[in-house]
């Protein structure tokens, strides 16, 4: 579900986020996503037209198994590194508040449960279990 906070990103980065782009994650990941978009936009502003860089378009941003999943087209190796870095940071960032987190699961049955990266406070609030 795209919150009001995420909707502002569509206005700030129209060349990266189109009307078809879906953002489906909690607000704790907002800073990571915005910093990723800033890095990609800055890189494109400098290099588009001067190199063979293909404009990057973000197709979707969502959370799968407690980690950001970002689908995109275009870009080059540096854009890929920026996106991979954002994914890696999300693995240790609470989806709810943005504090340092770790992977938790929704039930004691690890293989059949929903996984989220949460801080201890939100894991307790949402009744999530530690992975052991």
Q: Note the pTM of the prediction, 2 decimals.
A: 0.91
3-state secondary structure of 63: strand
CA angle 4, 129, 60 (to 5 degrees): 35
State the Cα–Cα distance between residues 74 and 42, nearest whole angstrom.
15
| DSSP code per residue over 8-28 | HHHHH-TTTEEEEEEEES-GG
Task: Give residue-wise pLDDT tens across range 55-86.
Answer: 999 999 999 999 999 999 999 999 999 999 99
Task: Give residue-wise pLDDT tens across range 5-63.
Answer: 899 999 999 999 999 999 999 999 999 999 999 999 999 999 988 888 899 999 999 99
State the Cα–Cα distance between residues 101 and 118, nearest whole angstrom.
5
DSSP state, residue 37: H
State the Cα–Cα distance between residues 95 and 116, nearest whole angstrom.
7
């Amino acid at each position: 579900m795209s919150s009001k906070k995420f909707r502002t990103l569509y206005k700030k980065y129209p060349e990266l986020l189109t009307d078809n782009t879906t953002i489906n994650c909690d607000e704790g990941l907002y800073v990571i996503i915005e910093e990723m978009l800033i890095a990609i936009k800055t890189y494109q502003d400098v290099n588009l037209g001067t190199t063979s860089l293909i404009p990057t378009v973000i197709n979707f941003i969502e959370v799968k198994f407690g980690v950001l999943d970002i689908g995109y087209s275009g870009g080059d190796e540096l854009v890929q590194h920026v996106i991979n870095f954002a994914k890696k940071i999300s693995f240790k960032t609470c989806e709810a508040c943005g504090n340092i987190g770790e992977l938790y699961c929704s039930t004691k049955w690890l293989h059949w449960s929903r996984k989220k990266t949460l801080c201890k406070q939100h894991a307790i609030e949402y009744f999530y279990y530690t992975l052991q």
